Amino acid sequence: MSNTCTGRGVCAPAGVLAHGVACGIKANGKHDLGLLHFPHGASVAGVFTQNLVKAAPVLLTSEKVKRGHCKAVVVNSGNANACTGQKGMDDAKTMCRIAAHALGCSEEEVLVCSTGVIGEPLPMEAVERGIYEAAKGLSTEGDEAFAQAILTTDTGIKTCTVDCGDFCIGGAAKGAGMIHPNMATMLAFITTDVKASAEELQSLLREAVDLSFNRITVDGDTSTNDTVLLMATGASGAVLEEKRKPFRKGLIDVCQHLAKAIVRDGEGATKLVKVKVEGTDTEEDAKKICSTIATSLLFKTALFGEDPNWGRIAGALGRAGVPIDPNGFSVFIGDVPVVERGVGVEGDWETPAHKVMTQSEFEITVRIGNGPASYWMWTCDLSHGYVSINADYRS
Residues forming contacts to a second copy in the complex (CB under 8 A) are 50-54, 80, 82-85, 117-120, 177-178, 180, 182, 219-224, 295-298, 301-302, 304-305, 307, 309-312, 314-319, 323-324, 326-327, 339, 341-344, 382-384, 386-388, 390-395
DSSP secondary structure code for residue 215 in this structure: G
CA distance 175 to 226: 9
- Taking the complex as a whole, the smallest distance from the CB of residue 195 to a second copy amounts, in Å, to 37
Task: Indicate the residue among 211 and 314 with the shorter CB distance to a second copy.
Answer: 314
Please count the other Cβ atoms lying within 10 Å of the Cβ belonging to residue 248: 15
Task: Indicate the residue among 43 and 296 with the shorter CB distance to a second copy.
Answer: 296
With CA atoms as reference, report the closest residue to 311 among 296, 324, 321: 296
* DSSP per-residue letters across 241-262: GGSHHHHHHHHHHHHHHHHHHH
Task: Indicate the residue among 125 and 297 with the shorter CB distance to a second copy.
Answer: 297
Task: Indicate the residue among 56 and 103 with the shorter CB distance to a second copy.
Answer: 56
Is residue 342 a contact partner of residue 327, using CB atoms and an 8 Å limit? yes
Q: Which of 115, 185, 191, 379 is catalytic?
A: 185
Element (H, E) at 358: none
DSSP secondary structure code for residue 378 in this structure: E
- Taking the complex as a whole, the smallest distance from the CB of residue 53 to a second copy amounts, in Å, to 3
* DSSP per-residue letters across 110-153: EEEEEEEESS----HHHHHHHHHHHHHH-BTT-HHHHHHHT-SS
- Taking the complex as a whole, the smallest distance from the CB of residue 128 to a second copy amounts, in Å, to 22
Task: Indicate the residue among 140 and 390 with the shorter CB distance to a second copy.
Answer: 390
- Taking the complex as a whole, the smallest distance from the CB of residue 378 to a second copy amounts, in Å, to 17
CA distance 171 to 139: 16
Length of the chain (residues): 395
Q: Please say if 140 is a catalytic residue.
A: no
Q: How far is CA 256 from CA 144, 151, 216, 278, in A?
A: 20, 18, 10, 21
- Taking the complex as a whole, the smallest distance from the CB of residue 336 to a second copy amounts, in Å, to 14
Annotated active-site positions, please? 185
